[in-house]
Amino acid sequence: MKIKLPYFVTQPFVVVALCGLGIIAWYWPAHIQESWVRMDSIARLLAKVFPPIEAYVSKSSFPAATSAYMALAFLLMPVHFYFSYMELKGGVEESWHAKLWSIQSVGDVYRRLLLVIVVVALAIFALFLNPGYDFNLLPINTSRTALAWGGWLVSGAAPAWCLSWALCNLIVLSKHFSGRN
């Protein structure tokens, strides 16, 4: 059985970007935010669009690093969306997902639509409503190491994965209803 690694391990651009985010989380000094005005203005602009950035910055023990990290991680969200969509789309067609994604009854359609609604609601929460939750498993507000290892999940990767998963499901449903199984 061949094990397929996720895109954030196999795509060089994503690996380099995540390593860069990790370096920012660990080594970004507090005084550089005031001296580097362009990064501060980008972070403030993105915080207006995505309120969780400001929420995480306000609760963080290291606000300058969190601001730079979250702004750049949210900028990477389209990259996460593209690669996760391509990964999920391939999984639907060639792997064990194909059995799960085949629609057999009306109940499967309703269940799939309900899951799409729930996943899109989770993505909307993560993108626009998250008040900067800090989980004990991943304390990104108090630990630079946790921010480096898992901050990208709450700041763009998880919402992008949710939206790409919902899109894959909607494509499967549209193919089913149009008769192109």
Average pLDDT over residues 170-180: 74
Nearest-angstrom CA–CA distance, 11 and 25: 21
Neighbours of 176 (CB within 10 A): 16
Distances (CA, A) of 28 to 33, 62, 66: 9, 9, 9
With a pLDDT cut of 70, the percent of the chain lying above it is 86
**Could you report the per-residue pLDDT of 92-151, keeping only the tens digit for each?**
555 434 555 566 666 777 887 898 899 999 999 999 998 888 777 789 999 999 999 988
The first and second tokens of residue 83, run together, are 């690669």
pTM: 0.82
Least confident of 25-34, 84-93, 96-105, 163-172: 96-105
Burial class of 103 by CB neighbour count within 10 A (0 to 12, 13 to 18, 19+): middle
